[in-house]
Structure 1
Amino acid sequence: MTANDQLSGAGPAAAPRDGYLAVLANPAAGRGRYRGLLPIVLDRLGAAGWPVVLLEAETADQARAACATAVADGAAALVTVGGDGTVNLALQAVADTGVAFGPVPAGTGNDFAVCTGFPADPLAAVEVIAAALTAGRTRPADLARMTAGDGTSRWFGAVLAAGFDALVNERANRMSWPRGRRRYDLAILVELARLRPRRYTLRLDGVPLEFDGVLVAVGNCPSYGGGMRICPDADPTDGQLDVVYAGPVGRATLARIKPRVYRGSHVTHPMVHSHRARTVEISADGIVGYADGERALPLPVTVTAVPDAVRLLI
């Protein structure tokens, strides 16, 4: 597809400029520091000449349903105002539909937006999206589709965590105290104390791989968690997934490796390994995968790269 592809329709042929812009906003994203952003976003998008509808939702399930309804009802584009979690909800609706998508990065983690070329500054990102709307321009990007044994599937844009980081998220979500970032920090300490390698079975494009490991990630994009480059060579336009894992390291070694993730230099450690595949089957006991920072599906799952699965307003 070229930069001149139209806003709606699954193929490269021109499509009529009809429908409306649906906007999903998370007022709690970024710990609320962008609360005043939404009126600016709505005003700027409205100036692009399209009717704008703000989706109403109070829970993640309601947001996911609202996005799906908007796509089914003929929305020409969906714009999110929030972080990776908000993006992930929207991707469930727009993936593989041809409906254009624009993320305004206003969360704690904005990895998908930044990794796919949107400005990190939310006001600059709004301008990029509005310009794309005016020009009728989209650019394709890949997504990853994960499928459980019972057929349940979920899309993600950035990274699937299926090791230590997933365990930390799972523990933090079960904790009612403390609040905010301290809860996550405490969950890290607890999981470090309980750290033990787990037996993983992977199949990379059908080729089996077994290992004992503590850190496993499958990336469509390079980073997660607000800029942690866990899969530094991942490219959301190459039709491939990057798999990075750390072997049976202890607490001290993991503590030394983790800070290097922000630079992506952890992949040079002798206990860290990288692979690339179109399809990744991953299995381990007691792990719930977290995709784009959100609780997704328990292992085992099959993750497949889907080229050009989303059309970005950029």
Structure 2
Amino acid sequence: MTGTARTLGNSGIEVGPIGVGCWAIGGPLHAGGEQFGWGTVDDAQSTAALHRAFDLGATFFDTADNYGAGHSESVLGRAFEGRRDQVVIATKWGNTFDEATGEATGQDATPAHLRTAVDASLRRLGTDYVDLYQFHIAQAPLPVALDLVDTLEDLVAAGKIRAYAWSTDDAANAEGFAAKAPHCAAVQHDFSVLNPAPEMVAVVESLGLASIARGPLAMGLLSGKYHDGRRVAADDVRAQGHPWIPYFGPDGSGSREWLTRIDAVRDVLTSDGRTLAQGALAWLLARTPAVIPIPGCRTVAQVEGNLAVRSPLPPDEFAQVESLLRG
């Protein structure tokens, strides 16, 4: 992986140019019959993947308290026990759950819950600070998010968090929040070659924020594995028909509309020996210097492929992709 570090906004926190998303390693999370995890997991395999990512230069690891009802945080914390100061850990709060039963129970955007949630995350992560703490309720009204700023600033002053962010796809809300939040360093948002997010890119670049690219591989569709009709497992979040997951149908198969778009740029993205996923990540690195993609992983092979990306997509190839997809 390229050694060019990127900075989390104005926080001064440096990270490798490609991070690691830790949703999939959390395992199951359910709300009645609905699934919000990626199926069963093997913790030993997850830990091996995290260690391999670190060995290959990844230093930024992104999770959330509700991924696997706390399980992702616990696995991540154990994986880097004894070398916490060598990694940058981002987690999120706002979605509530029962840690014992693995059930999602709702949302809580109050300052009181924020204080409780950060302490619970610190316990599971086995650390006394979080590098980047992210509000996880994407659709919250801006005034609700702004009501959290004083508490977040208190947590910065107390040393429990170093910086904070909002995980949202609403560019106007992100801009309004960051403008009044002194230690806001980033926005996490959906961002991939299939979703270039022009409004959000404009916000992060104008305010000097980091763009944490959630879904940089379109939840796996840009891996190239789903063109042959294969489906994700029935207990996978991608097979639930959630309206916020456009890339897979309720039967777990890849959306034909999006697969067709991928086919339109496959040859460009896979030129110079890149895999499709590597081309998609290289496109993001070329899109803006503010971006830090966080492709998810569950296996050593996945992190080895993702972290083999060594440079942004060349300008001429980037232009070809834009012409083919966006005319």
Tell me the TM-score normalised to structure 1 length: 0.31
- Greater Rg, structure 1 or structure 2? 1
Give the structure with the higher percent strand: 1
Give the structure with the higher percent helix: 2
